[in-house]
């Protein structure tokens, strides 16, 4: 790895340690690193309101909201973590490869912070989309500002983040979740127009779970259908 990549990863590890949570470095930690170290990438982010302080504030609020939805503690509660950060998560690993690929494709002998910023912006939009939306910006807006300032950017648009259209949830028992999840996978597989997700309760993972779905998915009707199939 080149010096820029090493410096960004070290800073991302430090940011992850300050944020608290699991033993990994993710896309948000990479964004925090880029918003911290002096560079064109940091200047662009700052001008669009993406500062370390605002990232942490919005991230904490969203973590707390998610925790309330699933009935458990925030995934990234902040403060010192008991365990050390051990590795990059899949998003950060992908960003590393994407940043190096952009640098090589554009004839640069090493990565620059701008390559890393583009790498995380062109990740799965669910990784940072909600955070950027809460910060009042988007991947497209950041890419446009990089372009305006003379940075080289991909000719294709960044993936678009699409917020959930309405949201409701259903708490289910262990006996119900596998039949319901199987039906959801069948009726609404990945890539379908309407989305859903599932979490276990942090304090009762063996017995209770919660399914979240967009407004067009009738969870009660689907659960009733699975129970009818089991009794027929």
Tens-digit pLDDT profile for residues 140-166: 999 999 999 999 999 999 999 988 898
Residue linked to tokens 């940091």: 42
Whole-angstrom Cα distance, residue 175 to residue 171? 12
In a domain, 143, yes or no: yes
For residue 9 the two structure tokens come to: 């990863």
Domain membership of residue 102 as a residue range: 3-148
Tell me how far apart the alpha carbons of residues 150 and 97 are, in angstroms, rounded to a whole number: 23
Sign of the torsion formed by the C-alpha atoms of 106, 121, 189 and 208:
positive
Shared domain for 195 and 84, answered yes or no, is no
Q: Write out pLDDT tens, residues 19-28.
A: 765 678 999 9
DSSP, collapsed to helix, strand or coil, labels residue 168 as strand
User: Which distant-in-sequence residues (6+ apart) come within 8 Å of 109 by Cβ?
Assistant: 2, 103
Split into its structural domains, the chain has a count of 2
pTM of the model: 0.78
CA 48 to chain CA centroid, Å, is: 19
Query: In the prediction, which pLDDT does 62 show?
Result: 84
Residue 85 lies in a domain: yes
In the structure, what pLDDT confidence band is assigned to residue 83 with cuts at 50, 70 and 90? Answer: low
Please say which residue of 100, 120, 148 terminates a domain.
148
Same structural domain for residues 129 and 179? no
Residue 99 lies in a domain: yes
For residue 204, what pLDDT band results from cuts at 50, 70 and 90? low
């Amino acid at each position: 790895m080149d010096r820029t990549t090493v410096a960004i990863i070290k800073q991302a590890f430090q940011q992850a340690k300050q944020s608290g949570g699991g033993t990994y470095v993710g896309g948000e930690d990479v964004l925090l690193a880029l918003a911290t170290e002096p560079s064109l990438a940091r200047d662009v982010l700052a001008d669009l309101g993406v500062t370390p302080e605002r990232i942490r504030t919005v991230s904490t609020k969203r973590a707390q909201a998610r925790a309330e939805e699933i009935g458990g503690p925030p995934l990234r509660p902040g403060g010192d973590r008991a365990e050390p950060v051990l590795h990059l998560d899949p998003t950060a690993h992908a960003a590393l490869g994407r940043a190096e690929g952009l640098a090589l494709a554009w004839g640069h002998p090493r990565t620059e912070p701008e390559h890393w910023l583009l790498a995380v912006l062109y990740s799965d939009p669910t990784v940072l989309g909600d955070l950027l939306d809460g910060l009042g910006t988007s991947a497209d807006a950041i890419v446009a500002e990089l372009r305006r300032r003379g940075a080289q950017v991909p000719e294709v648009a960044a993936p678009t983040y699409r917020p959930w259209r309405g949201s409701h949830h259903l708490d289910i028992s262990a006996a119900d979740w596998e039949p319901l999840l199987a039906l959801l996978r069948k009726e609404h597989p990945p890539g379908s127009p309407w989305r859903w997700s599932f979490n276990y309760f942090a304090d009762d993972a063996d017995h209770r779970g919660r399914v979240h779905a967009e407004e067009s998915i009738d969870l009660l009707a689907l659960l009733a259908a699975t129970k009818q199939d089991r009794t027929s």
